[in-house]
């Protein structure tokens, strides 16, 4: 399966809003809308990831939203990129395993059809 890695491409200036004080709800635009499985992987990994001044972030659709002070955003982007890379890798690994399982199932089904065909010939002739 060929899937382009997800990356952050820019801050959405129109969707980023001030919350309280110096805090903003920053909307980060992703390179494409990730598959549903990727979003779940990213959000779970982000929840478990720890670093100084960590802020809430959530992937949804083609965006990641993070609530932070704008002067901290560069640090958060570095951490988000780490988790995005991990999510990209885990998603590709998961998809590869699924592809292998599907291929094995197709091969089993083909072998079963061949066995049944041979049985038919044996029992009922050509």
Q: What are 53-106's pLDDT values in tens digits?
A: 999 999 999 999 999 999 999 999 999 999 999 999 999 999 877 776 777 677
Q: What DSSP assignment string belongs to 14-42? A: TT-EE-STTEEEEEEEESSPPPHHHHHHH
- Residue 50 has a pLDDT of 96
- Residue 7 has a pLDDT of 97
15/103 Cα distance (integer angstroms): 43
Q: How confident is the model at residue 10 (pLDDT cuts 50, 70, 90)?
A: very high
- Which sequence spans correspond to the domains of the chain? 8-91
Is 94:37 a contact under the CB 8 Å cutoff? Answer: yes
In the block, which residue shows the tokens 């590869």? 96
Strands 57-60 and 8-11: unpaired
Give me the CATH topology for the region 8-91: Alpha-Beta Plaits (3.30.70)
Q: How confident is the model at residue 2 (pLDDT cuts 50, 70, 90)?
A: low
Q: How confident is the model at residue 12 (pLDDT cuts 50, 70, 90)?
A: very high
Both structure tokens of 113: 């059809």
112 vs 79 pLDDT, higher one: 79
If you ran DSSP here, which 8-state letter would residue 52 be given? T
Which residues, in sequence order, are CB contacts of 19 under 8 Å at separation 6+? 25, 67
């Amino acid at each position: 399966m060929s899937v382009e890695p997800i990356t952050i491409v820019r801050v959405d200036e129109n969707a980023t809003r001030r919350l309280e004080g110096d805090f903003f709800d920053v909307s980060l635009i992703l390179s494409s809308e990730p598959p549903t499985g990727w979003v779940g992987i990213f959000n779970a990994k982000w929840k478990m990831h720890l670093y100084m001044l960590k802020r809430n972030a959530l992937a949804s659709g083609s965006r990641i939203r993070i609530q932070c002070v704008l002067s901290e955003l560069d640090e958060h982007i570095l951490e988000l990129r780490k988790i995005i890379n991990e999510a990209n890798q885990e998603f590709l690994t998961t998809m590869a395993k699924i592809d292998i399982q599907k291929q094995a199932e197709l091969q089993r089904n083909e072998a079963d059809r061949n066995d049944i065909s041979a049985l038919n010939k044996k029992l009922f002739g050509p």
